[in-house]
Amino acid sequence: MLRYLNYDIVFQEVPGEVSLAINITNCPNRCKGCHSPELMKDIGEELNESVLLSLLEKYGKAISCICFMGGDASPKDVQHLAAFLKKQTAFKIKVAWYSGRQELPSNFEIVHFDFIKLGPYVQNLGGLNSLTTNQRFYRVENAKMIDDTKMFFKIGHSNFLEKKY
């Protein structure tokens, strides 16, 4: 069962989107320097279809994306909720997943997502906006993951060489 601690409307997690970021708890990754160490605890309210519908009714006109922040302890549940969101006809919403995993679990279906971030936070490498980051931000198109990490770099970082994964 997925639990979430809180949520907020954010503008930087998914470039070009107004996202409702839902902070999922019980993170197993334990990244040193984590910006939200409270999410390592198994706390909060259950995150299910009913909660998502309620959030869509409340924020649906103000957002263009729902971004699951975490859920690494239960990726199949994240996948299930993403599929549920994609089936909603009243709300055409993009779906993102920020995972701290290095790679997707086997048999994970990416077709329910528009964006996926992979990679644990490594303090000395920095986050997605760092040229030295190990994290990758992917756009999902036609069931393929396209590395779009460069979207997080400020203009002037033209010497960045894209990593191939």
When pLDDT is averaged across residues 63-77 and rounded to a whole number, the result is 96
In a domain, 50, yes or no: yes
Whether 159 is in a domain gets the answer no
Residue 57 lies in a domain: yes
Least confident of 38-47, 87-96, 97-106, 147-156: 147-156
Specify if 161 maps to a domain: no
> What pLDDT, on a 0 to 100 scale, did the predictor assign at position 16?
94
- Provide mean pLDDT across the span 23-43: 92
pLDDT computed for residue 162 by the predictor: 47
Distance from C-alpha of 41 to C-alpha of 64, rounded to nearest angstrom: 29
Residue 160 is predicted with a pLDDT of 47
pTM: 0.91
Adjacency order of strands within the sheet including 45-46: 45-46, 3-10, 19-24, 65-69, 94-98, 115-118, 136-141, 144-147
Can you tell me the distance from the alpha carbon of 131 to that of 157, in angstroms, rounded to the nearest whole number? 8
Indicate whether 59 pLDDT > 70: yes
Query: How far is residue 46 from each of residues 5, 132, 137, 147, measured CA to CA in Å?
Result: 9, 36, 27, 32
- Return the half-sphere exposure (C-beta side, CA atoms, 13 A cut-off) of residue 19: 22
| CATH code of the domain in which 39 resides | 3.20.20.70
Q: Shortest CA distance to 65 belongs to which of 20, 12, 97?
A: 20
97 lies in a domain? yes
pLDDT mean across residues, the chain: 91
- Report whether 49 contacts 5 (CB < 8 A): no
pLDDT class for 32, splitting at 50, 70, 90?
confident
What's the number of domains the chain is made of? 1
The answer, yes or no, to whether residue 127 has pLDDT greater than 50, is: yes
Domain of 124 in residue numbering reads as 3-152
Confidence of residue 49 (pLDDT cuts 50, 70, 90): very high
For 139, residues 6+ apart whose C-beta sits below 8 A from its C-beta are: 114, 115, 145, 146, 148
Per-residue confidence (pLDDT) for residue 91, from 0 to 100: 79
Number of helical (H) and strand (E) elements in the chain, helices listed first: 2, 8
